[in-house]
Structure 1
Amino acid sequence: MCTLLLADLSQTPSLTTMQISRKIEIDYGHTLPNHFSFCNQLHGHRGVVVATVEGPVIERSGDSEEGMVMDFRFLKEIMVEHIHNRLDHGFAVWREDHEDLEFILKRNTRVLVTDDPPTAEYLAKWAFNEIRTHLPEGISLHNVRWYETPNNWADYDGQIIK
């Protein structure tokens, strides 16, 4: 015998603001020319980027996004177009790394030239700024988590420390 349990949501307060997250995976290369370890060599990572957005839960009756902050598909489309399609199977190279930049530009068509060394920290900041500018009105980017490896990541929430 199966018992159907119905949740009585009439007694719970209306959901107003929530966060949702979407993850994408990318394969990319980079180098950190000033680093003391093998990270100063050209090498690659299987990176994971997680974006968490925040906004009001849509309560328009009959709306295809009713009960959602936004459709996960739309967040995925933003991340794929502005992160994945710019860096997947490409290289992130610091503009001050002239030797590697010249070499990589000769051999590759997908190159992200960065203003800062392409560490997980600065790539998280870059991804944050890319995603944030393409979100729909009323949705804010809470943070971006950039996994360089399964055990190492950087979080960026848009705050600038002075």
Structure 2
Amino acid sequence: MAKIRLTKEFRFEMAHALWNYDGLCKNLHGHSYILNVTVIGEPIEDEDNPKLGMVMDFGDLKSIVNDEIVDRLDHAVVVSKKAPSEQLLALPQMGERHEVVDYQPTCENMLVDFAERIKKRLPENIQLFSLKLNETATSYAEWYASDNC
């Protein structure tokens, strides 16, 4: 059977600041992120399987990505654990949704994190093929499994 790639798009709003950065992104700011998740596999051939003809149910992929990424980061502030952020994140009401991560929260580093989170949750016959994360309308980063063997 042929290998088929499935892609699902996700959108979320997130704020971040880059610790020790020498440009404008050192300031707290937000983006409207667009994440494209592409998996690869073979369509199910088992006539008794309710997912007959599918590589993966789009709903199952949606559930994984929402659990691991969107639900955690949508409308959250994300900062590196190296940043002195205690006062910022302790603001009443305004600091309730936040993530402190082990890395500088750049588009590139977030993709590495996202790839690891998604790969752990995929069925064993499905592989993560690629991720594309738009940070702005004209700027994005991409992760490909073939580049990370």
What's the TM-score once normalised by structure 2's chain length?
0.89
Q: Is the 8 A contact 1:18 1:57 kept in 2?
A: yes
Structure 1 residue 26 corresponds to structure 2 residue 5? no
Please state whether the residue corresponding to 1:129 is helix, strand or coil: helix
Looking at structure 2, the residues matched to 56 and 91 of structure 1 have their Cα atoms a distance apart, in angstroms, of 38
> Residue 110 of structure 1 is aligned with which of 72, 92, 97?
97
Looking at structure 2, the residues matched to 103 and 160 of structure 1 have their Cα atoms a distance apart, in angstroms, of 37
Q: Is the 8 A contact 1:48 1:147 kept in 2?
A: yes
Deviates most, 106-115 or 71-80: 106-115
Structure 1 residue 49 corresponds to structure 2 residue 35? yes
Within a 5 Å distance, the mapping from 1:9-158 to structure 2 comes to 15-98=1-84, 101-107=85-91, 108-158=95-145
Please state whether the residue corresponding to 2:11 is helix, strand or coil: strand
Larger Rg: 1
Deviation at 1:62, TM superposition (A): 4.5
Percent identity reads: 31
Q: Is the 8 A contact 1:128 1:157 kept in 2?
A: no
Looking at structure 2, the residues matched to 110 and 130 of structure 1 have their Cα atoms a distance apart, in angstroms, of 20
Deviation at 1:160, TM superposition (A): 4.7
Q: Is the 8 A contact 2:134 2:141 kept in 1?
A: yes
Looking at structure 1, the residues matched to 122 and 88 of structure 2 have their Cα atoms a distance apart, in angstroms, of 32
Q: Unaligned regions of 5+ residues in structure 1, if any?
A: 1-14
Q: What number of residue pairs does the alignment pair up?
A: 145
Looking at structure 2, the residues matched to 37 and 44 of structure 1 have their Cα atoms a distance apart, in angstroms, of 15
**Residues 11-39 of structure 1: per-residue CA shift (max 9 Å, x gap):** xxxx3311101111000000113332221
Looking at structure 2, the residues matched to 123 and 58 of structure 1 have their Cα atoms a distance apart, in angstroms, of 32
Higher RCO (Cα < 8 Å, 6 or more apart)? 2
Please state whether the residue corresponding to 1:142 is helix, strand or coil: strand
Please state whether the residue corresponding to 1:29 is helix, strand or coil: strand
Q: Is the 8 A contact 1:22 1:51 kept in 2?
A: yes
Q: Unaligned regions of 5+ residues in structure 2, if any?
A: none
Counterpart amino acid of residue 57 in structure 1: P
What's the TM-score once normalised by structure 1's chain length?
0.82
